[in-house]
A and B are shown apart, each in its own frame.
Chain A
Amino acid sequence: MPLRAKVASSVSRTAAALSRAAGRGDGSVIGGWIGLKIDPDLLAHLSSGRAIALVSGTNGKTTTTRLTAAAMQVLGPVATNSFGANMPTGHTSALAKAGATPYAVLEVDEHYLAQVIDATEPRVVALLNLSRDQLDRAKEVAMMAQLWRTALAAHPDVLVVANADDPMVVWAAEGSTHITWFSAGQRWHDDSWVCPECGSPIERRDAQWWCTGCPLRRPQPQWTVEDDGVVDPTGAWHLVKLQLPGTVNIGNAATALAVAAQFGVRPLEAVPRLATVSSVAGRYAQVDRDGRNIRLLLAKNPASWLEAFDMAEEAPTLLSINARDPDGLDTSWLFDVDFAPLRGRQVFITGDRAYDLAVRLEVNDVPFRHVSTFEEAVRAAPPGRLEVIANYTAFQDIRAELDRVN
């Protein structure tokens, strides 16, 4: 590593430690930011000599990164950005902090994928899904798919692991030379009714989808989910026992196994490692308080709300909605989510924008009770499981509140 990079890397680690000590977050962003100021090529320097997998997509990337890193540990130490700091500053910090590791698994914000591929020269890129997110500022879904497509075309050596169920992902990936397709399901279809290649309608029947105007269609996946397990390319079925809830996470596990397999990890060895992951940056965390077992689920856009309903048990449920900067200021997406799965459960609502949610639930015929604080919901809920589903800053607020008791 050139001297400048060494200095930058060491300063980056120190800054991260200082930031943690000062109680300002986990330091994963500030450290990388300072390091990149000293050496703009620091991420490239820190990446060289490592075999790297990048994981990107609108949803599931934090969890899938965590599961992939667990699977890869079969091979040796793995650097990863486990706090979900998924932009180049976060990657820089994560690699600097980990020291020399033979492997790295990095979660990448979908907007930064091209830049991070250029800097890290990954062996594998996993593409999970693309859907609407943070409406008042996100790039159009189709434009994002185009960016991915262009980025991958410039790196023909990359092994692409991509979701066969998402037409936008398939179109982004199909030009690549080496592709492994997995099927992790797609609950959300509303951003892929129109073919990104030719503009014709896309038809769906069961798991299949195809464009009515051009050859784009669902490729045959090599990795699939079956019951509570994953089928590998040889046809062998592996039972996947996770601490994480829902079939969505079995799909994330399938993706992790497919990525790890590109590095030579056999599913048999990797599967037990997946079961060690219990919570991911507070997601799925369970906290016992006043006789309630509170479980936290993060849902930050329409597609991930549908996934959260899949993960949540039939139990009293608190929904919390904010619309601060990181959430996007617009709450229109509430009407893109069908809350009907919550009918029959006791539903509490709270958050800065609880009234937007109230109007939505009323139209959706989902009875609810408004509470002004998280505390009030905990008191109002009967003893036992309380599922909490919240969007980004609402989730962080509740997480902070629970940390204070722990």
Chain B
Amino acid sequence: MSESTLRLVWVYPDLLSTYGDRGNLLILARRAQQRGLPVEIVEVRSDRPLPATADIYLIGGGEDGPQALAAQRLIADGGMHRAVNQGAAVLAVCAGYQLLGTSFYAKGARCHGLNMIDISSDRGPSRAVGELAGEIDPRLGLPPLSGFENHGGRTHLGPGVSPLARVTTGIGNDGQTEGAWHGKIVGTYSHGPALSRNPAIADLLLRWATGHDRLPALDDTWSDRLRGERMAAVARPA
């Protein structure tokens, strides 16, 4: 890997890719390339070792069985853990978000997580399905979060982690907060191609990965229109 190439790792697409998760990979790669950054994409199936040196790791959503299996294999592999200790960034979505914590529930049993962030997840009283929106932690300096959620979990944040957003529509972690961030790790219940509605989060990850505080602006006409439309839709009384 050359120093200037941005290396993106998509973790276990065979297990954790249920809801258009590839979108996040494509969007990150495109936004890097538009700024003239060469990109290397590495898709790693669950029967292969994860590279321990890369810039951004992406973990997507999945059903219970694959989620539990992915957690076991990620713990045994250890590659992502080492990479994060060396400064890699992570975007984790839905099931992938839950398994970064200390524990989560899958198929009726408590499972060990990767213990990379101070969260734990269990089952909620009902499935959270629908639009998700919130005000992102002001320290990150980002516009509001817009997404779609579809999960049965509730996530509890420990003192070592901050909520990604304060919920204005939907459930997120517990109806009050949504997602979590710590260091260069971002987790969210905004499932699937979360970055399609939140290009600012893509740029946050790129800033973390490259160390550049400012990235050249891009033409975001269509994602701005999409965000505007979705924001208006959740603002309308049902």
* Chain A residues engaging chain B, CB cutoff 8 angstroms: 132, 135-137, 140, 142, 190, 193-194, 199, 201, 329-336, 355-356, 358-360, 362-364
Contacts and interface: CB of A to CB of B under 8 A. Distances in A.
A44 B51 CA distance: 59
A335 B24 CA distance: 9
Given A190-B17, A332-B19, A335-B22, A360 B150 contact: no
Given A329-B129, A335-B196, 13 more contacts: A132-B18, A135-B150, A136-B150, A142-B63, A194-B66, A329-B130, A332-B192, A333-B20, A334-B23, A356-B196, A359-B197, A360-B196, A363-B196
Contacts of A136: 129, 150
Contacts of B150: 135-136, 330
B20 A335 contact: yes
A336 B22 CA distance: 7
A358 B222 CA distance: 6
B106 to A, nearest CB: 13
Interface string B18-52: 11111100110010000000000000011100000
A331 to B, nearest CB: 8
Interface string B57-86: 000000101100100000000000000000
A404 B92 CA distance: 48
Contact of A199 (B19, B65, B148, B197): B65
B23 A363 contact: yes
B226 A336 contact: no
Residue of B45, B222, B229 with highest tally of chain A CB at under 10 A? B222
A135 B46 contact: no
A194 B225 contact: no
A198 to B, nearest CB: 12
Given A355-B225, A358-B222, A201 B19 contact: no
B15 interface: yes
Given A135-B150, A335-B193, A363 B26 contact: yes
Contacts of A355: 222, 225-226, 229
B63 A332 contact: no
B14 A193 contact: yes
Contacts of B197: 359
A151 B145 CA distance: 44
A199 B63 CA distance: 13
Contacts of B166: none
Contact of B20 (A199, A201, A332): A332
A333 B191 CA distance: 11
Interface string B117-139: 00000000000011000000000
B223 interface: yes
Interface in B168-216: 191-193, 196-197
B226 A356 contact: yes
Nearest to B17: A190
Contacts of A140: 63
B96 to A, nearest CB: 14
Contacts of B26: 335, 363-364
B19 A333 contact: yes
B191 A332 contact: yes
Nearest to B15: A194
Contacts of B23: 332, 334-335, 360, 363
A362 B221 CA distance: 11
Contacts of A330: 19, 148, 150, 192
Contacts of B229: 355
Nearest to A132: B18
Contacts of A332: 19-20, 23, 148, 191-193
A364 B29 CA distance: 11
Contacts of A364: 26
29 contacts: A132-B18, A135-B18, A140-B63, A142-B63, A194-B66, A199-B69, A329-B129, A329-B130, A329-B148, A331-B148, A332-B19, A332-B192, A333-B19, A333-B20, A335-B20, A335-B21, A335-B26, A335-B193, A335-B196, A355-B222, A355-B225, A358-B222, A358-B226, A359-B197, A359-B222, A359-B226, A360-B196, A363-B23, A363-B26
A136 B191 CA distance: 11
A135 B196 CA distance: 18
Contacts of B148: 329-332
B119 to A, nearest CB: 23
Contacts of B65: 142, 199
A196 to B, nearest CB: 10
Contact of B14 (A201, A335, A356, A363): A201
